Each structure stands twice: as C-alpha cells, then as structure tokens.
Structure 1
Amino acid sequence: MEDLGLNMLEDPATAGTENSTIESGYTYFGQFVDHDITLDVDSDIDVARDARSLINYRTPNLELDSVYGDGPGVDSFLYDSEGVKLLVADTVPGGADNTIPIMPFDLQRNINGKAIIGDPRNDENLFVAQMHMSIIKFHNAVVDAIRLEEPALAPDKLFVKAQTEVRRHYQWVLMHDYLKKIIGSGSVDELLASGPKLMPANKKFFMPVEFSVAAYRFGHSQIRDNYRFNQVFNNSEFFWAFTFTGRTVPSDWIINWRSFFTVDGIPAENMARKIDTRVAFSMGQLPGSAPGGSFFATLSSRNLVRSIALKVGTGKAIAKKLGITPLTDEELLRSPFANPTPNQVQLHERTTEILRSNNNLLLKRTPLWYYVLKEAEVMNQGNQLGPVGGSIVGEVFIRLLKQSKDSFLNDPDWRPRFGVTDGDPNSFRIVDLLRFAGTLNIPGIH
C-alpha cells in the first residue's frame, strides 16, 4: 500500500497530466462539504479499528454546523451582539502588493491567529478558509435581504429564517451544481427522482467508511501543484495555501474565485487535475515534520493504509455488492498516460509491478480508493466518477438530504431566491452564491 501510494506521485519527470473538465473551485467546495459532514478524531492511521465504533463529531445533515456551531445561544462568540450575523475580520496589508486595501475578507481570529470558527480544519488551507468566509458572508447578505423584507422580524426569528434559507441554498448548489459535475446530471436526476436505495431513509444512518475513507477522497487526485490565486500571485505553488492560514490573511492573498470557477461564460483559469490514479507532487509534501516523499508526508499512501486500519472493502468486492460489473484486470493495469514519455512508461511499469506483486495481491484486492480513481480514469477519462464511486457518493448525499430537517427536498415547492441572476431559480449555482455573498467580485482583486 505504501509503495503504491508513493508511486502515484507525480514528479518533474512525469508531470504534464491533462486537466479535467471540472474547475478547481469544485475541489475546495468539496473539501468544505467534507468538513461539514465528517470529523473523525479517534482513529489512528496505523491501528486497526472497527469502523462501527467510530464517532462522527460533525452532524452529517448538511446543515452547516461547521459554520453555525451550536447557534448564537451556545456559540455566541461566532455572532454579532444581536446573535443574527456571523462575524468576519479584516485582512492586513499585503507584503507583495500593499496597494490592495484592508477589507473584511478574513475569518475572525484569536490573539494567536487561530480562526474562531465551528471547525478549525476550515483554516487548514487558504482555499477552504476563503470558502468558509464566503458562506459566512452569504448568511449575512441573506440576513440583510430578509430584514428589508420583514423589518419587524425579531432577531431570533430573523436568524432562524436566514439560517434555513442559507442551508437550502447550500444544499441546492451541492446537489444541482457540485454533484452534477462529479457524478453526472443523469445520475443526480435519478437520485432525486428515486431517493436512496442503498441506505433507505427509514433506517438509522451511519456515515459509511466506504464514503469517508475511500470514495469521497477522489478530490485528492484533483489538487494541482500550481494555482492562480489572484492577479498578484498568478502562478503560485499549492503549498502557499497553507502559509496564509493560522494567521490574518494579507489583502493580496484574497482568493479570486473567478480564477476557480467559470463565470458568465469566462472559463476558469484553474482547472482541476483529472480524477485518476495520479496525484500531484505536492501530495507527497504534506505540511509537518515528516520529510517529503516519506510515508507520513504522502497523502496517497496514507489514504491507502487508512483503508486497511478501518477494514474498508476492496474495489471489486464493493462493485459486486452494488451489482456493478467490476473492472477487469486489464482495466486495472491500463496506463493512465495517453501518450507516455519514457519516464511515464517506467512509472507505469512500476505500478504494474506493485499491483502484481505477492501473487497479484493488490490486483485481486484493490483498495477501494485506488479502485474508484481507476474507474473514473478508465470509464470517464477522469472527468467524473464511475459507477461504483458515483453510486457511493451520490447515495450518501441524497440520504443526508432526506434526513436534514431543513432540507429543500422536504419542501418540494422551495427554490433558491437569493442570488438568482437570470430569473430562473433552477439555474442557481455556486458562483451565484459567491456573487450574492460579495466574494465573487471584490474591488482590487481579479
């Protein structure tokens, strides 16, 4: 597993993997969603654990408890004096461009620079931190809009009404924008029409480790080595996203979301890497004390070994359980490189050697995370998940929506209304949410 994970890493000699058709903004929206529904602080990567005994410290109801905490009555430190709006903080002058003014586009922080938010993981990289901040600003903008509509509404009732609307707008873009990018419009439409089949809504729900430890980690393969953050840092290495967290964000590091999403027909400049069995070189350089390229610094190896610790089923076994024809050995051994260089040929030969070692052990018992990536690579050219990965991810999200008390699915007549730009609420997307929040078009950031 460790060898396979290390061999998934790109290096300067094997880089050049084509981009997918998915914009990079969806990668970090997906990470934000992950932090909203799962938090495991009990299991250890190298200690076997019964997954049924794990505690999920997030409420898996797509209700933004990572943003709202336990509400203004309990977590008052997240809110203004009325207990209606969520708090944000000012940036500081930039070191590279100090002409961009100080603006309220950072998370509130304590004296040590730690973000004061419902989930500290949302300050682990700048992209997710700025997405979290955008959700906060969306809530505050919705509060302002409802207050204009109903000026006599009491603060407590105003908060609850705004929170319900924000949750539903968030759930809408998750289902109708993000998930359609990841598993395909047809699969989403079928889920919305038929509901969950693997996890019926009338049975108690447990977050499947097949989702949290394997299938939903597909986003790790989409991360790029370099991004256009904004006009100041227009081709900067991924690791910079970790540098400006745990401290007040400089104005010249505010994320320009127009570089991460296609907006008004203008293509995003940062497209995600393909969902495939290759991961960016940066994924072997995780922040921490471990040397680059070692097991503990390599995300792909850690993902694979973690699946052993939690006894996650293998790819072919899960496919059969779902009634899906498993990938053949030929498909599992197929090269991810369309026109391979000599270095890429050598790299793939090493992958084949690892899969075939110990009497074809990993070919027979392919780890589910690797299998989901390979399935997307083989069946959809890395542009969306295949049937196993798509079934697991789609089923979990539709099940979460079915059980959420504020779910838009439980109010069939509800449609988005805050940020709809073309008069058609069905077209509401993540960029519309960001636009209404005021984080899509920020003066001085482009």
Structure 2
Amino acid sequence: MAVQKVADASPFRISELNPRDSISATPTPGFRHFLGTPTHSQRFRAFGVDPLASSSDHAKLRGLMQRLSRRMDADIKWPPHQVRSAERWENPFIPSGYTYLLQFIAHDLVHSAIPLSVAGGLGRGTSNARRTPLRLETLYGSGPVGSPHIYALDAPNDDRRTKLRLGRMRWKENEAATGCPFRDIARAQAENVTGIDRSIAGVRVALTEALVADPRNDDHAVMSQLTALFALLHNGLVDIIRRHEGHAGPNARFGAAYKRFLCARGALTAIYHNIIRNDLMRRVLHPAIHASYCSLGPQFIDRAEPAGNAASGDWEIPLEFSHGAFRFGHAMVRPEYQINDQSLHDLNNTLEKSSMNDPANMPLDETWMVQWSRFFEIHGSTPNFSRRIGPHLSDGLGNDQIFPAFDETQRVGLLYRDLLGASLAGMWSVDALIAEIASRRPDFIAMSRLLSDRAYRVEQLRGWLVSGRAYGALTDEDIETLSNDPPLPFFILFEAMQQTEGLRLGLLGSIIVSEVIFGALASAPQSVSGSSLADQLDLVSREFYLANVLQDIPDISSMAQLVEFTTEIAELRQAVPAFL
C-alpha cells in the first residue's frame, strides 16, 4: 500500500498507449463494480461529464485531479488525542507495521501489469491476474513447480524445493563476528544483455533480481523485510511438520516433501486469515461495521452468496475497492521510520531500498534489518505509529524518481495517480453509492449524518476545499464539482478525517473494505468465522496426515504474536541486529 497503488505492478511501467483514446465502460478481466455495474447516471462525473463517455474532456479532468492533489498537500490540523507521547498526526491505535500488512494484502488481492492512471483507461494491461483472493499467492507464487526460483531445498539430504528462499544480510562496514544471518529476501545478479552494469567496480556486485513471487514485495525496505518475515515463518512451519511426520522411504520422499509444503502453506494461510479478521480489521474499521461483519454469518450486500465464485476461478475484485476505498493505506505512511534501535531512515531513503532502485547496495545491510517491536506493539514496546487517516500523504510519496510525471500536468507523486486512476475507472459516484447501500442496509447509512444528509455532506466538502484553495489554486467551478461529486478515494479519506478523527475508516470506507475482505475470507475452505485457529489448523493437518502435526502452534491472532512465534521457531531471539 505504501509505495504502490493496489493494482500496480510497478510505477515505472509506463504505457505507450495514448491516454486520450476512448475508454471502455466494461471492467477488464478480474475486475467488477461494487454492488453491480452503475448506470450512466450513477457514475462519477467531473464538471458534469462522465469521463467514460467523453475522452475529449480528459485534459480538463486531469487538471482538476492535479489541483485537488495539490489541495491535499496541505497539512491537516488534527485535534489532540489521549496519548500525550504521540504527535498529533500520529495514530497510536495503529502501529506502522499494519500499513505494510495492508500493502501486502493489496498485492494478494490485485496484480495488474500497469497503473490505470498511466494506461489512461481500463483494458490496457489493467486486468487483475489474481483469481483466488487472500491465498498468499503474493508469497508463494505458483508453488515449487511453477515458481522454482523462489524456493530453496527443504533439507541437506532432500533435493525438493519446499522452503522459501532467503538471502544473507550484509554488514555495512566490516564483516561482523556474528556472521551474516539470512534476514533479507533472496537477491541475485543477472547479466544484462544491453551491456549496462550497475555494479560498483571493485567494490560490490549489483543484485538486480529479487527472487520473490511478486516483484512488488521488493518495493522498498520495509516491504521486503515483511516478506522475509512471512518466509521465515513458512520455513519454520516446514521444520515443525517434519519433526512430527513419520519416516518416509526413499521412494516416498517426493510425496512427503510436497505434503509438507502444502500443509505449511495451509497453516500459514490460516494464521494470516486469523490476523486479518481479528487484528487488522479490528484496528482499521469503524467499530460498528467490524462488529457486523466479524460476527457469525454476516449479511453481505455485494453478492448473493458470501463465497462468491472464488472456487471456480471467477473471483473478481470491485474497482470501488481496489481503486477507491483501499487506497486509504497510502495516507498512513509515515515520513520516517525507526527501523531498529540504531537506525532512523526517512521515507525517501526507505522507498529507494530495492533491487530495482539501488541494486549496488543490496542485500540490505544491518541498518535496514527491521526490529519488529518497532513496528508492532510487543511486550509494551512503543512502535512507530502510522499517520492518521485523512486527505494528506507524506511528502516522500511525492518522490519524483519513484513516481515521475507521465502526462501534461507534470504532476509527480502517488496521490495524483490515485485520484486520476479512480476518475477513469467508471466507478459509482459517492452519492449513487450511498443511495444504493441505503436501499440494502439503511441502518448503516443512518449511523452517519455525512452519509445520510446530502446537503450537509456537500457543505462539509465545500468548506474543506475552500479553506485551503490556495494550495491547489482551486477555482469556484472546481470546488462546486468536487463538493457535489468527489472522487471516491478522496472521499474515503475525508470521511475518516471527519467521522473518526483519522483513527480508523469512516462508515462508507469500512463497508466497502468489509464486504471485500470478509467476503474473500468467507470463500476460503478453512477460514470459518467463529471457529478457532486450532480447529482450522487441525483441518489443514488432517488433509495430509492422520495425526495433527500442527497441534503445537499457539493461538496466533495478532501480528505481535506472529512475530513472537517466528522469533522462537527461527531461533532469532538473540539475533544481531535484534529481530524482536
């Protein structure tokens, strides 16, 4: 979430197609619309014009989104909160590790070849390749056979690849006595047929290739460290299963290895789902909405059956989620991070630490080894807190090297991409979306004056836009069109600021996120709302073994517990630099 849009494979993959070409109103494969496809009159408009109906007005649309993004450059004057040790812009209820768990989840839900904002319209490389939501495809790829480059040998006497590959960290100065533990994702050198070598001659070879299933998981240092955390847990689960399984003869070794892999993957997926349901969603959703969807048998309004069509491979993600509500995570990104006890890095530096952007300084050195008690609250630690959720992003997300300009507005940064991409997706207007939800769940809409009272909503939006109009040089016409028909990702951030003081999502954002996330969880075979993790792990184990080989795994229902368990099974409690 932090440095890439939900549907982006990379911000650098710029389309050669003309963004002024006509735009299809039909979602591309893997995408659909929330609550059904909106009619022409229900779609978002700018200056009264539907962007899907008139490509000739796109220059005017781009100008409007550029000016709105500049209005959102203004700092938000947040009210004080109860935690006096935190800055006003910080959210003490959501440690910053959850910002990147949200990004990881985004990668697990959507994988497209090119940003919609850059492509200029749906159908130009913007299809979603994910067909099974939240099954950790972003970590496991197509498995040891389909994605062998990301897997390592299970054990010295076994030539099957069923563990996830990791790489040694490096020491920034001199080799330390403690050696170089496997704390980074795996990275490799590749000969470049163009003859361009990014190595530092006589000093360091450039490791340009990140050996991960999803290249976006090497977007930046914190993202690659989170990926390494999950890989360490998977590998530890493989070892646990090995200790409990019976001895297989030489001819059975192949089957034993893959049973072990599938069981470990199922166990990690169950843990992942348990954390999403009981930890992450509890923190980011409006409490009333979380209670409604986390209960037994939630009433989904976006589909006839909670399970959808995921089992048949027809699962599709709503554009109103991928290009609208779930962009809220970008607002949570901090301007700097205390990576560990010794290292503080600003956001620009953090974004540049990847095999794509800085291959000559890979693998990551000790200053980038994440100490997880700095990102999640563990044993009373004080972690980096995320930013409050509102219509403002950290300056680092305007980095012109990571997010360069791509059209005549010359606007750089992630925010403009979010706004323009949403405007070109043919999504529901905020008014029509609220009305449709009200027809299905009037009790939800009645909880919020911002949603139930249109005149009040327009007044609040207009007041905020006018208060900072100098930032974006907004015209009176701009203010009227935006207050009457705001782009969805902007409104979700505005709603969070107005309704919850930025401490969690507002009602509309929470409804959209809940429908998609809890709907995806409901489609998973072992992820049953109300069943314990122990029961789910027992089901996973008995798919492959007569006994429960996962019985020693504790009840992991939070990221803090996941980190603590990984620390134990990976034997990292005494690690240098500190892991916990």
Deviation at 1:115, TM superposition (A): 0.8
- Counterpart CA distance in 2 for 1:420 and 1:122 is 30
Residue in 1 that maps onto 2:559: 430
Deviation at 1:335, TM superposition (A): 4.9
SS at match of 2:419: helix
Work out whether residues 184 and 228 of structure 2, in 8 Å CA contact, stay in contact via their aligned partners in 1: yes
SS at match of 1:409: coil
Tell me whether 1:272 sits opposite 2:386 in the alignment: yes
Change (3 A) 1:229 1:334: farther
Residue in 2 that maps onto 1:240: 349
- Residue in structure 2 matching 1:163, options 265, 272, 285: 265
Work out whether residues 340 and 370 of structure 2, in 8 Å CA contact, stay in contact via their aligned partners in 1: yes
Residue in 2 that maps onto 1:108: 186
Work out whether residues 340 and 371 of structure 2, in 8 Å CA contact, stay in contact via their aligned partners in 1: yes
- Residue in structure 1 matching 2:531, options 385, 398, 412: 412
Tell me whether 1:373 sits opposite 2:487 in the alignment: no
Work out whether residues 356 and 363 of structure 1, in 8 Å CA contact, stay in contact via their aligned partners in 2: no
- Counterpart CA distance in 2 for 1:349 and 1:168 is 48
Deviation at 1:206, TM superposition (A): 1.8
Residue in 2 that maps onto 1:18: 89
1:261 is matched by which residue type in structure 2? F
Tell me whether 1:84 sits opposite 2:162 in the alignment: yes
Tell me whether 1:212 sits opposite 2:322 in the alignment: yes
The unaligned stretches of length 5 or more in structure 1 are 337-345
- Counterpart CA distance in 2 for 1:359 and 1:266 is 44
Residue in 1 that maps onto 2:433: 318
Residue in 1 that maps onto 2:576: 444
The unaligned stretches of length 5 or more in structure 2 are 1-64, 79-86, 154-158, 190-206, 249-255, 310-314, 356-361, 439-444, 446-450, 538-549
Which piece of structure 1 moves more, 107-116 or 211-220? 107-116
Tell me whether 1:72 sits opposite 2:144 in the alignment: yes
Which piece of structure 1 moves more, 301-310 or 311-320? 311-320
Work out whether residues 347 and 396 of structure 2, in 8 Å CA contact, stay in contact via their aligned partners in 1: yes
- Residue in structure 1 matching 2:522, options 392, 402, 406: 402
Work out whether residues 58 and 66 of structure 1, in 8 Å CA contact, stay in contact via their aligned partners in 2: no
Deviation at 1:296, TM superposition (A): 4.6
Which piece of structure 1 moves more, 299-308 or 45-54? 45-54
Deviation at 1:280, TM superposition (A): 1.1
SS at match of 2:386: strand
Work out whether residues 90 and 105 of structure 1, in 8 Å CA contact, stay in contact via their aligned partners in 2: yes
Residue in 1 that maps onto 2:331: 221
Q: List per-residue Cα deviations over 1:383-435 (Å, max 9, x = no partner).
A: 11111100111110111112234x422893543777999x7x2x621121122
Change (3 A) 1:10 1:114: farther
- Residue in structure 2 matching 1:301, options 416, 419, 433: 416
Which piece of structure 1 moves more, 306-315 or 319-328? 319-328
2:391 is matched by which residue type in structure 1? T
| Residues matched between the structures, number | 429
Tell me whether 1:173 sits opposite 2:287 in the alignment: no
Deviation at 1:49, TM superposition (A): 2.9
The Cα RMSD (Å) is 3.2
- Counterpart CA distance in 1 for 2:562 and 2:142 is 23
Tell me whether 1:118 sits opposite 2:213 in the alignment: yes
1:409 is matched by which residue type in structure 2? V
TM-score of the superposed pair, with normalisation by structure 2: 0.67
SS at match of 1:105: strand
Change (3 A) 1:298 1:194: same
Work out whether residues 126 and 242 of structure 1, in 8 Å CA contact, stay in contact via their aligned partners in 2: yes
Residue in 2 that maps onto 1:134: 229
Residue in 2 that maps onto 1:194: 297
Deviation at 1:245, TM superposition (A): 1.4
1:40 is matched by which residue type in structure 2? S
Q: Whose radius of gyration is greater, 1 or 2?
A: 2
Deviation at 1:243, TM superposition (A): 3.0
Residue in 1 that maps onto 2:481: 361
Residue in 2 that maps onto 1:342: none
Q: List per-residue Cα deviations over 1:149-177 (Å, max 9, x = no partner).
A: 22436212111111111111011101111
Residue in 1 that maps onto 2:104: 32
- Residue in structure 2 matching 1:2, options 45, 56, 66: 66
Change (3 A) 1:272 1:147: same
- Counterpart CA distance in 1 for 2:377 and 2:419 is 33
- Counterpart CA distance in 2 for 1:142 and 1:197 is 37
- Counterpart CA distance in 2 for 1:278 and 1:96 is 41
% identical equivalent positions: 22
Work out whether residues 88 and 133 of structure 1, in 8 Å CA contact, stay in contact via their aligned partners in 2: yes
SS at match of 2:94: strand
Change (3 A) 1:104 1:349: same
- Counterpart CA distance in 1 for 2:411 and 2:175 is 36
SS at match of 2:67: helix
Change (3 A) 1:329 1:12: closer
Change (3 A) 1:289 1:429: closer
TM-score of the superposed pair, with normalisation by structure 1: 0.86
